[in-house]
Amino acid sequence: MVSATLTKHSDLDGQAPFKGCQENFKQPEGLVGKNPGRKQRLSAHDVLFYEGDKAERLYEVMRGVMMLYKLLPDGRRQVVYILREGDMLGFSNRDFFDCTAEALTEVELQVFESREISTSPMMQHYVNRCLLSQMENLHEHTVLLGRKSALERVSTFLMGLVPNRGGHGCAGPVEEGKPDTRTVELSMTRQEIADYLGLTIETVSRVISQLKRRGLIKVEKQDSIHISHICGICQLTGMH
C-alpha cells in the first residue's frame, strides 16, 4: 500500500494472520512494537557481522540497505541476499553466521537478543514469516543464477527495484495513460551488482550500456537509473 514499502520482496498479501516482514515494519506494532530494545546504526560498507562469528542477535533493518555475502578461499564473492527495510537478518541454525553482513548504505537497525525471540511465540511466528519470504526470494534468485542470461539477470535485478512489478505474476503493464516509467536507486556499485548476479563487473556494465542504447533506461547518477519503459525491461527478464 505505502509505496515506499514495495520492494521486490513485498508480495505478501493480507490474508495471512501476520502480514509479513515488509509490510509489518510500517505499522506501529511490528516486531519492534513489542520491543523497545536497542537501535544500531551503520555507515555504508560497515560490516555488521562476519561469516563464522557467533550468532547471538537478530536484526531488523529499519532504514537503508544491506547485503549478505559469502567468500570462497580464493576471493570469489557471492552476494546471497539483499536486505531492505523490514527485512530481518542474523538467523542461524548452528551457532555461527553462515554469511557476512555488510551495509550498502547508511543503515538503522533494531537489535534483538536471540533468546527474546525463541521464548516469544509471537516473535517466533513473525520471524517465521520473514524466513518464508526470504526463502521464496532465494528460490527465485536461484533460477536467475542457474538459468538466466546476463541480459535477463540485469533486467530482473532492475525490475526488482520497481514496486509492484516483476514479481510473481507481475502487475503487468500499468493502466492506459499512466507513464510506464520510474527512477530506481541501485544503492550498490557495479561490483556489488556483479557479485549478486553472478557476473563480472564488465558484463554488468555492458548490459547497462546496451539497455541505454536501446533507449530503455537512462543512467542519471551512477547508482540511480531512470527506467523509461518498464514493460520493455520486464519483457527481458525471461519470465514472460
Please state the closest distance from residue 80 (CB atom) to DNA, in A.
16
* Residue (182 or 206) nearer to DNA, CB: 206
Position 32 contacts DNA (CB under 7 A): no
Handedness of CA 156, 138, 132, 116 (dihedral sign): negative
Binding site for a second copy (CB under 8 A): 11-13, 15-17, 20, 68, 70, 72-74, 76-78, 80-81, 91-95, 98-99, 118, 121, 124-125, 127-129, 131-136, 138-143, 145-148, 168, 195, 197-198, 238-240
Instruction: Please state, in angstroms and rounded to a whole number, the distance separating the CA atoms of residues 114 and 106.
Output: 24
Residues 95-134 that bind DNA (CB under 7 A): none
* Residue (198 or 232) nearer to a second copy, CB: 198
- Burial of residue 90 (CB within 10 Å: 0-12, 13-18, 19+) is buried
Among 70, 77, 182, 206, binds DNA (CB under 7 A): 206
Binding mask 142-181 toward DNA (x if CB under 7 A, else -) reads -------xxx------------------------------
Cβ(42)–Cβ(48) below 8 Å: yes
All three cell numbers of 101? 553482513
Q: 89 contacts which partner out of DNA, a second copy, none, CB within 5 to 8 A by kind?
A: none
Q: 13 contacts which partner out of DNA, a second copy, none, CB within 5 to 8 A by kind?
A: a second copy
Among 163, 198, 232, 238, binds DNA (CB under 7 A): 198
Q: 205 contacts which partner out of a second copy, DNA, none, CB within 5 to 8 A by kind?
A: DNA
> Which letter, b or e, does each residue of 102-129 get, where b requires 16 or more Cβ atoms within 10 Å of its Cβ?
bbbbebebbbbeeebbeebeebeebbeb
Among 204, 227, 236, 239, binds DNA (CB under 7 A): 204
Please state the closest distance from residue 81 (CB atom) to a second copy, in A.
8
Instruction: Please state, in angstroms and rounded to a whole number, the distance separating the CA atoms of residues 222 and 128.
Output: 36
Q: How many CB atoms lie within 10 A of CB 237?
A: 22
* Residue (34 or 212) nearer to DNA, CB: 212
Please state the closest distance from residue 64 (CB atom) to DNA, in A.
17
Binding site for DNA (CB under 7 A): 149-151, 189-191, 198-206, 208-209, 219, 221-223
